Amino acid sequence: MATDVTRARLLDATEQLLATTSYEDLRVRAVCAHAGVNPAAVHYHFGSREDLVAALLQDRLAPFWSTPLDRLTRGPVTVREIVDAILTPLVRLRDDPTTASLLSILGRFVLTHPDLPWTATWFRTQAWVGILTSTIDVDESTARRRWRFAFSILMTELSTRPPPSVAAVSALADFLTAGLSAPVHQSPASDPAPAADASPSGGHGRNRP
């Protein structure tokens, strides 16, 4: 369909421009001109520059995670297996210049745009909350808070240049596994109760890979 072709051209143009242009300097008109389409095409197909880049990241990166992450729903898993399913593709992605660049963009983009409505299942926090609560004995609020911390650390590492080394990914796996699976300690009764999370992921980093 013509609509699908235009959408694909816009994604290709965005990817090509981001190879030499920062997200902050990316202009919708430049994307449309590079794609050879109507200047209003981005707004028609995606809504905004932010939604365009979110669609690009999901389109290009989600396939690398889909198979290992889908396995998590097929039976009992450990926290380390959950973490490995997230991190293992990073080693492959960092070795390709194109995907390595997209990883860096993903890290910076998520940290600065925490409230985007991601559409891919594994880019949404709630999917991870469900997996963690079915793996260890934590409630949804605790699971959501732990994922907020975990993804903040992960996105910070991804946003660096060059992308994290194999050794760094291994150390990150150990760190995230320990944090996600830590025992729950009850606060003393005299301490004020923690404020309720304001968003599905506790405010920072809603709907993130």
pTM of the model: 0.75
Is the pLDDT at 176 greater than 90? The verdict is: yes
Domain of residue 84 covers 62-209
Residue 55 belongs to a domain = no
**Given phi > 0 = left and psi -120 to 50 = alpha, else beta, which region is 82?**
alpha
**Which pLDDT does position 120 carry in this prediction?**
82
Digit-coded pLDDT (tens) for 12-41? 999 999 988 888 899 999 999 999 999 999
The model's pLDDT over 115-128, given as tens digits with 9 standing for 90+, comes to 777 888 778 888 89
> Are residues 205 and 160 part of one domain?
yes
CATH number of domain containing 16: 1.10.10
Structural domains of the chain, count: 2
Residues 73 and 42 in one domain: no
Same domain, 99 and 168: yes
Q: Is the pLDDT of residue 157 over 80?
A: yes
Q: Does 53 reside within a domain? A: no
CA quadruple 131, 134, 136, 142: dihedral sign: positive
How far is Cα 92 from Cα 36, in angstroms, rounded to an integer? 32
